[in-house]
């Protein structure tokens, strides 16, 4: 068995040691803990997400995607707060028995680390701590970001009359999972890439600061996450099903009904769900243009609690998408 310290050193420490100086890191990995210097005038924004094999991602998923995805889903929470990502810690639990030999373990780790690092570098997020343990494959990622005092986006600010909008497209996560389960393995397929290589919307969250009245990321599915926003803000919601931006190739792959269901309750999309005043929509859309990202109005907040469709469709029929995790205990 490869020793823990060897693992950490070889695949994780070298790359971030080089980048510590400019990132507020006084003492990096390798001591009992890491010393960080937050910026004055900023609030610290922290969140943790665990990705478990056979629950959140398939056992046969490429190691690169496993590393990317574990960090992406955690960063998505910072995006939903309008925070700038700064640091992360990674707790990797790895079952070496799943590999033929040390060489296979190392190959997997190298790919995994590459996926993790590529995304962390893209978002200027320095890996400042970690733990490698033996057990069923699982990755816990703690992310730490910053936001100017009072400017964070929360779930609780929506008011009746606000419009409801989403970034990008919906249903790709669930559509990609369906394709994976049918045997598709080409990660360049737009749906599969949405499922296994989601892009956290950090730049969008930042751009929507000062405009969005509430925000969260869509991880559990649009209806489920909208319910969290409704509860926190004490508003209702009316959704226009025809307005839902469906992921590329989703409808052609699954058919209209399943595509709608994927968009409404599939989850794993990691787009931002936001509310904003009607007068601010154009400005918000304008801000996302440089990011190559759309912002689509899909409904509005109502005083009457609960959720309904503007065309009177029965939304309960769209609940209950078979999540990957639904197959686990």
Question: What are the φ and ψ backbone dihedral angles of 249, each rounded to 5 degrees?
Answer: 70, 5
Determine if residue 77 is labeled as part of a ligand binding site.
yes
Q: How far is the CB of 5 from a copy of itself (least distance, A)?
A: 8
Check residue 103 for interaction with a copy of itself (CB under 8 A). no
Check residue 96 for interaction with a copy of itself (CB under 8 A). yes
Q: What is the DSSP string of 115-153?
A: HHHHHHHHTT-EEEEEEEEESSSEEEEEEEEEEETT---
Question: What are the φ and ψ backbone dihedral angles of 298, each rounded to 5 degrees?
Answer: -120, 5
Q: How far is the CB of 51 from a copy of itself (least distance, A)?
A: 8
Check residue 209 for interaction with a copy of itself (CB under 8 A). no
Check residue 240 for interaction with a copy of itself (CB under 8 A). no
Q: How far is the CB of 305 from a copy of itself (least distance, A)?
A: 18
Residue in 20, 34, 213, 275 binding a copy of itself, rule: CB under 8 A: 34
Check residue 304 for interaction with a copy of itself (CB under 8 A). no
Strand pairing category for 236-239 and 295-302: antiparallel
Check residue 325 for interaction with a copy of itself (CB under 8 A). yes
Q: What's the Cα-to-Cα distance from 213 to each of 168, 304, 310, rounded to whole Å? A: 19, 18, 22
**Closest among 204, 200, 203, 182 to 191, alpha carbons compared:** 182
Strand pairing category for 163-167 and 272-276: antiparallel
**DSSP helix/strand/coil, 75:** helix
What is the size of the binding site for a copy of itself (CB under 8 A)? 67
Rounded to 5°, angle at Cα 288 from 286 and 291 = 135
Q: How far is the CB of 11 from a copy of itself (least distance, A)?
A: 16
* The token pair that represents 251 in the structure block: 């409808």
x/- mask, a copy of itself, residues 169-208, rule CB under 8 A, reads: ----------------------------------------
Gap between the Cα atoms of 164 and 161, Å rounded: 9
Gap between the Cα atoms of 328 and 167, Å rounded: 30
* Binding annotation: 32, 47, 49, 56, 77, 130-131, 155, 217, 219-220, 268, 321
For binding to a copy of itself (CB under 8 A), which residues are involved?
Answer: 1, 26-27, 30-38, 40, 43-50, 52-56, 76-78, 80-81, 83, 87, 89-91, 93, 95-97, 128-131, 133-136, 138, 140, 142-145, 147, 149, 152, 154-156, 215-217, 232, 325, 328-329
* Binding annotation for substrate: 56, 268, 321
């Amino acid at each position: 068995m490869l020793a823990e310290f060897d693992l950490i050193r070889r695949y994780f420490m070298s790359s971030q040691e080089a980048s510590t100086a400019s990132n507020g890191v006084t003492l990096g990995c390798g001591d009992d803990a890491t010393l960080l210097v937050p910026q004055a005038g900023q609030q610290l924004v922290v969140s943790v997400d665990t990705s478990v094999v056979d629950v959140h991602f398939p056992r046969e998923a490429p190691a690169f995607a496993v590393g990317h995805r574990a960090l992406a889903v955690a960063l998505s929470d910072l995006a939903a707060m309008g925070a700038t990502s700064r640091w992360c810690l990674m707790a990797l639990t790895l079952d070496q028995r799943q590999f033929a030999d040390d060489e296979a373990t190392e190959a997997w780790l190298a790919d995994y680390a590459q996926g993790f690092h590529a995304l962390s570098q893209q978002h200027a997020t320095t890996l400042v701590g970690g733990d490698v343990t033996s057990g069923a494959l699982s990755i816990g990622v703690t992310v730490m970001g910053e936001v100017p005092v009072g400017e964070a986006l929360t779930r609780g600010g929506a008011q009746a009359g606000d419009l409801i909008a989403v970034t990008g497209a919906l249903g790709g996560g669930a559509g990609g999972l369906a394709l994976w389960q049918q045997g598709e393995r080409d990660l360049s397929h737009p749906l599969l890439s949405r499922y296994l290589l989601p892009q956290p919307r950090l730049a969008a969250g930042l751009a929507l600061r000062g405009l969005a009245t509430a925000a969260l990321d869509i991880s559990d599915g649009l209806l489920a996450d909208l319910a969290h926003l409704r509860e926190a803000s004490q508003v209702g919601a009316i959704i226009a099903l025809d307005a839902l931006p469906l992921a590329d190739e989703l409808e052609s792959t699954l058919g209209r009904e399943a595509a709608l269901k994927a968009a409404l309750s599939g989850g794993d999309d990691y787009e931002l769900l936001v509310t904003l005043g009607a007068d601010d929509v154009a400005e918000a859309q304008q801000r996302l243009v440089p990011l190559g990202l759309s912002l689509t109005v899909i409904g509005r907040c109502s005083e009457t609690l609960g959720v309904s469709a503007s065309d009177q469709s029965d939304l309960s029929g769209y609940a209950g998408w078979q999540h990957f995790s639904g197959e686990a205990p």
